[in-house]
């Protein structure tokens, strides 16, 4: 189900910004299936790199009032968060917007995937990966 852009910067029904195109799903999937759905669109689960991008994500999620998967996971190594699309380790120098006390791997339940969580004002939360949430896919646009 590869997207054919036909010279357009973003596929129809995707949100375009200066640096990326975003697809906010209306269906819900577990984190792994959401990752695969984004790959089918020749995209990745969103990698939020700065406050401007985070504000776009949070505003859209708030308007729909739904939780969304983002591309962070620590499934391979507990506590080592990786952006799945670029395989980039999240470091203390990078932008984050974890809700206070998160990530917490609540009660040792294996919360290994990150979401925008409505009960935390759409700040980041670690969640059990089998949960079915909406998801955000991202296509990075070429730098001009």
What whole-number distance in Å separates Cα of residue 66 and Cα of residue 126? 15
Query: Distance between CA 117 and CA 49 in Å, rounded?
Result: 18
Q: Which two tokens stand for residue 96?
A: 């984050």
- What is the DSSP secondary structure assignment for residue 133, as one 8-state letter? B
What does the pLDDT look like over 87-144, one tens digit per residue?
A: 999 999 999 999 999 999 887 778 999 999 999 999 999 999 999 999 999 999 987 6
Q: Which residues of 105-126 are buried (b: 16+ CB within 10 A; e: fewer)?
A: eeeeebbbbbbbbbebebbbbb
pLDDT digits (tens, 9 = 90+) for 48-75: 999 999 999 999 999 999 999 999 999 9
Residue 4 pLDDT exceeds 50 = no
Distance CA 101, CA 17 (A): 31
Q: Which residues pair with 21 in a beta bridge?
A: 16, 139
One-character DSSP codes across 32-66: HHHHHHHHHTT-EE----SHHHHHHHHHHHHHHT-
Mean pLDDT over residues 35-47, rounded? Answer: 97
Multiple choice CATH, 15-140, 3.40.50.300, 3.30.70.1230, 3.10.100.10, 3.30.360.10? 3.10.100.10
How far is Cα 39 from Cα 137, in angstroms, rounded to an integer? 9
Distance between start and end Cα atoms, the chain? 28
Please state the domain extents for the chain: 15-140
Q: How many CB atoms lie within 10 A of CB 60?
A: 17
């Amino acid at each position: 189900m590869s997207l054919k852009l036909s010279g357009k910067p973003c596929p129809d029904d995707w949100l375009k910004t200066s640096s990326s195109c975003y697809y906010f799903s209306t269906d819900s999937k577990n984190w792994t299936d959401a990752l695969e759905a984004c790959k089918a669109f020749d995209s990745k689960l969103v990698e939020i790199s700065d406050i401007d991008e985070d504000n776009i994500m949070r505003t859209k999620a708030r308007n729909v009032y739904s939780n969304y998967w983002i591309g962070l996971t620590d499934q391979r190594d507990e506590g080592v968060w990786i952006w799945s699309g670029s395989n980039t380790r999240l470091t203390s120098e990078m932008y984050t917007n974890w809700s206070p006390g998160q990530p917490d791997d609540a009660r040792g339940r294996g919360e290994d995937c990150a979401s925008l969580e409505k009960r935390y004002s759409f700040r980041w939360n670690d969640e059990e990966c089998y949960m079915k949430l909406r998801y955000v896919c991202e296509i990075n646009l070429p730098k001009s």
